[in-house]
Amino acid sequence: MGGVDVGGGGGKRKNLDSEINMIPMIDLLMVTISFLLITAVWTQMARINADAQVPGPPRPDVEQEKVEPEKQLHVMMQGDDKFVLVWKQGSTTVDSIDVPRKDVITQQGAVQVVRYPDLAAKIETEWKAKGQHTNPTDRKQDQAILHTDNKTEFKYIIGVIDAIYAPQRDMNFGAKTDKFPAFNITFAVN
Amino acid sequence: MPVHEPGRSLMRHVGLEFVAKKVSGGGHRNTNANLSLTSMIDFLVVTVVFLLMTFSASGETPVAKGLNMPKAENVLDMMDAPMVAVVGSQILVDGSPAGNSRAVEESDRMQRIDELFNILKAKRELWKQTHPNKDFPGVVILQIDQNIKAVVVKSVFQTAAFAGFPNVSFMVDRIPHTGGSHG
């Protein structure tokens, strides 16, 4: 038996010392541990963000400013042997780079994990050289547009999106600075 | 017959001599070990505190049955939003059937999936009615099997966007970053 001594108890007052029975206490701790272990979530689900780039409703009352279109990175994954990275500003092609396609596929249970480390490295180099939103106070991200054919399986698409999300930059949220993906991704409609 | 307190003599009546030897020490090291109660309770309390800290009351994010989720490294934390699952050719919204992707696969053309569109639009309207003074976040999370074709992925993506959910997230299984800056 364990006891809790709170001192005192002198004179005629009731003794404040109480005893804790160790056996039920250890039982309670064991049951709590078992419950928490059984209900624990061991798989870590997460998400990869994409933006459909839907324009808002037209505002006839607001005069539209003529804004120079931003550079966008188009990632073409139609070929079996290479990716093509194209920087476009409006309809003008600024630069085009071929990246050899090397699928790094690992089997994890029933799931095939597809990764493109070479593509990720090239995209990071490109973003450092040509990215427009690099300042931590800038909440806007550079835009990447993914072009894929209709037959490509989803795991390869996720592999490419994962590579596009590899370059990360600091972004200020009030007094706090967080790492955030440098690119925002959307799909090409065609 | 008087009742006696069982003592050592009981063991002699039991035929298992090796047990008697072991229990009484019997020339070997005693098999009984002392456990420090204080350390044990400390350990148990620390374990309970750790498990309580990591406990999630909201439970596990429901994943559609038979769905092999792709895995990725560069991911964001999950958030609460309507779930659209694509398993085989079946489409589910928060676990309820919401159309079929067979027509899209067969035509091999990106197109709007009407049943999904109507259900998502109804969800959006319901949200706006229940939150009249708030901006609609327009977030939807897609759970898509790793082997689904891109034409279905793009069709579901566009349908969600047309229904008023332009912020689409793909649910993935988080994997730790492998070595190097890009793995």
Distance of CA B1 to CAs B4, B150, Å?
9, 87
Selection from B86, B52, B30, B68 nearest residue B146 by Cα: B68
Q: Which two tokens stand for residue B84?
A: 């659209």
Kindly calculate the radius of gyration of chain B based on its CA atoms and give it in whole angstroms.
31
pTM above 0.80, yes or no: no
Contact B150 A148 (CB under 8 A): yes
Q: Which of B47, B73, B145 comes nearest A154 by C-beta?
A: B145
Judged by a CB distance cut-off of 8 A, whether residue B1 touches chain A is no
**Which tens digits make up the pLDDT trace of B50-98?**
888 877 665 566 777 778 888 888 888 888 888 899 888 889 888 888 8
Question: Any CB–CB contact under 8 A between B58 and chain A?
Answer: no
- CB of B14 within 8 A of CB of B20? yes
Q: Which of A8-22, A76-90, B8-22, B27-41 has the lowest mean pLDDT?
A: B8-22
User: Which chain B residue has the Cα nearest residue A154?
Assistant: B146
- Residue A26 C-alpha, separation from nearest chain B C-alpha, in angstroms: 7
CB contact under 8 A, A52 and B168: yes
Q: B183 pLDDT band (50/70/90 cuts)?
A: very low
